[in-house]
């Protein structure tokens, strides 16, 4: 009986590509490495006669940073409205741009597919950044790009929200993290007011209206997750950006800021943008935040309510369940809370679905944790830049905002591999693909290679050489 295994990858965030031609909104630059990984997986599949399913678990495509235009110019700074539409027609324009900008990626996927034996297939699961995969037209364009026609069509499938089968549970994870990234209905994500559009969550509008502009100056900014934690960190180290972020998330600035801006009435979003481009105004507000306790308390309170983070305010300081702290400490608390939320949901899904391996993405937080009852939770991480600042001191955060190049050069190409034993029971590993190595680096657990998985891999290679099975 032939064996089988699965590969799970998430959060690649492919957008329009063409960085060398002036596009600053592309965060994925590992097309060749991804294709090389698939070549290695293909070679193993052929050698072992093993069936393989590649699961692309959400935010594979960065639809929020690709304009819906017929003739994309990477050097043009498109207005926000050119990113907003999520209709099927405009989603097709976005998808065409992504395919054109990442030909090697799609070529690698197409070469990976095989009717069999051994059979190799690809399954897409939607995330909050590629909710547009809901449209059948977008699915058809992807199949065309992969050469999945007629008898090969079934090799490419699309799941609206999750996979729960063969002892595994796979879901992107945005529904269990920040409130701003939750979609009302992942299965039927249509806008109630306009069924031709998708009901994008608030965090998506934040990306389109804030990140797409700020990233031209701060290319690294969307590598800090979660978004709500980033806002707290920015309050400490980039007050102007923090105000613009708050304005977009709230739809208007907190009332306390109107006085600070000397606006006679609540200004429009456009007017607020102009006010916040005035360096003198921003500097004055930053000084007020530092020196005016009442102003600081009110802003912190309104921000906490906006982001859905329970806290108290004492002497102008943020006070949460773990005591008083600075905006940096509050950001760390948000990150910890999101991490805990996904773990708790993984435990619940393992028990409810009676599965052994639960895989989420979304947070860019590659990790492995054991679950009650013997199951395993694995977060697949991201192929964009990401660093763990969870236990960092304030100076580290200052350095990030001042010298991001010190943090963004290294990328961990993480993915999940799920193998099955003779009884059909799955086991999962978090791996790190290292281009140029003889094969993947096996068994990363919280970034630390497992010696047991290295030994296991050694024996597998030896058995393959001797023509035996283990």
DSSP structure string for 274-320: HHHT-HHHHHHHHHHHHH-HHHHHHHHHHHHHHHT---EEETTEEEE
Q: Give the C-alpha separation, 441 to 439, whole Å.
A: 7
279, 307, 333 - which closes a domain: 333
In the predicted model, what is the mean pLDDT of residues 43-54?
Answer: 97
In the predicted model, what is the mean pLDDT of residues 89-106?
Answer: 98
299, 333, 367 - which closes a domain: 333
- pTM given for the model: 0.83
**CATH code at position 26:** 3.60.21.10
Q: At what angle do helices 279-291 and 239-250 cross, to 10 degrees?
A: 90
283, 315, 333 - which closes a domain: 333
Are residues 347 and 404 both part of a single domain?
A: yes
pLDDT at 423: 93
pLDDT band for position 470 (50/70/90)? very low
Four-CA torsion 99, 380, 209, 318, nearest 10 degrees: -170
Candidates 133, 142, 134; CA nearest to 113 is 142
pLDDT at 456: 45
Domain count, the chain: 2
* Average pLDDT value for the chain: 83
Residue ranges making up the domain that contains 318? 209-333
Are residues 57 and 125 both part of a single domain?
A: yes
Residue 358 parent element (H or E): strand 357-360
Are residues 46 and 92 both part of a single domain?
A: yes
pLDDT band for position 192 (50/70/90)? very high
Are residues 68 and 118 both part of a single domain?
A: yes
Are residues 181 and 249 both part of a single domain?
A: no
Q: Which stretch of 159-163, 223-227, 418-422 has the lowest confidence by average pLDDT? A: 223-227
Are residues 24 and 67 both part of a single domain?
A: yes
pLDDT at 49: 96
pLDDT band for position 454 (50/70/90)? very low
- Is there a contact between 432 and 414 (Cβ–Cβ < 8 Å)? yes
Q: How far lies 397's CA from each of 246, 388, 413, 414, in Å?
A: 20, 11, 24, 24
pLDDT at 120: 98
For the chain, the 3-state helix, strand and coil shares in percent, each to the nearest 5, are 45, 15, 35
Are residues 325 and 359 both part of a single domain?
A: no
pLDDT at 287: 85
pLDDT band for position 396 (50/70/90)? confident
Give pLDDT tens digits for 278-304: 777 788 888 888 888 777 777 777 777
């Amino acid at each position: 009986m032939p064996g089988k295994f699965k590969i799970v990858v998430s959060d690649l965030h492919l957008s329009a590509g063409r960085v060398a031609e002036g596009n600053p909104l592309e965060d994925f630059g590992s097309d060749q490495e991804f294709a090389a990984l698939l070549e290695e997986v293909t070679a193993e599949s052929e050698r072992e006669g093993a069936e393989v399913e590649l699961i692309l678990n959400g935010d594979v495509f960065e639809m929020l940073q690709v304009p819906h235009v017929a003739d994309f110019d990477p050097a043009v700074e498109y207005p926000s409205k050119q990113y907003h539409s999520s209709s099927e027609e405009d989603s097709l324009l976005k998808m065409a741009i992504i395919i054109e900008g990442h030909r090697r990626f799609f070529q690698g996927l197409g070469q990976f597919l095989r009717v069999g034996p051994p059979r190799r297939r690809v399954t897409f699961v939607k995330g909050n950044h590629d909710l547009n995969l809901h449209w059948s037209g977008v699915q058809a364009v992807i199949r065309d790009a992969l050469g999945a026609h007629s008898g090969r069509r079934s090799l490419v499938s699309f799941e609206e929200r999750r996979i729960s089968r063969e002892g595994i549970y796979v879901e992107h994870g945005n529904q269990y993290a920040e409130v701003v990234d939750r979609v009302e209905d992942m299965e039927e994500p249509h806008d109630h007011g306009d069924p031709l559009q998708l009901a994008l969550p608030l965090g998506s509008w934040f990306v389109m209206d804030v990140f797409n502009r700020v990233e031209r100056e701060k290319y690294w900014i969307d590598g800090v997750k979660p978004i709500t934690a980033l806002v707290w960190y920015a309050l400490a180290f980039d007050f102007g950006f923090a105000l613009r972020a708050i304005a977009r998330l709230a739809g208007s600035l907190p009332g306390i800021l109107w006085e600070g801006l000397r606006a006679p009435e609540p200004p429009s979003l456009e007017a607020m943008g102009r006010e916040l481009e005035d360096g003198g105004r921003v500097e004055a507000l930053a000084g007020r935040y530092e020196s005016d306790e009442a102003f600081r308390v009110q802003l912190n309170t309104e921000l906490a309510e906006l982001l859905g983070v329970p806290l108290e305010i004492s002497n102008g300081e943020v006070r949460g369940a773990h005591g008083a702290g600075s905006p940096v400490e509050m950001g760390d608390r948000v990150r910890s809370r999101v991490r805990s939320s996904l773990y708790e949901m993984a435990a619940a899904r393992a028990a409810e679905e009676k599965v052994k391996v639960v895989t989420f993405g979304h947070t860019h937080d590659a990790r492995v944790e054991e679950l009650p009852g013997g199951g395993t939770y694995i977060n697949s991480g991201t192929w964009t830049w990401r660093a763990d600042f969870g236990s960092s001191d304030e100076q580290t955060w200052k350095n990030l905002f001042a010298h991001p190049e010190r943090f963004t050069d290294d990328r961990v190409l993480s993915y999940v591999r799920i193998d099955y034993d003779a009884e059909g029971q799955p086991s999962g590993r978090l791996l790190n693909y290292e281009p140029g190595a003889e094969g993947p680096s096996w068994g990363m657990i919280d970034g630390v290679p497992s010696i047991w998985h290295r030994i296991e891999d050694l024996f597998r290679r030896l058995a393959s050489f001797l023509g035996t099975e283990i």
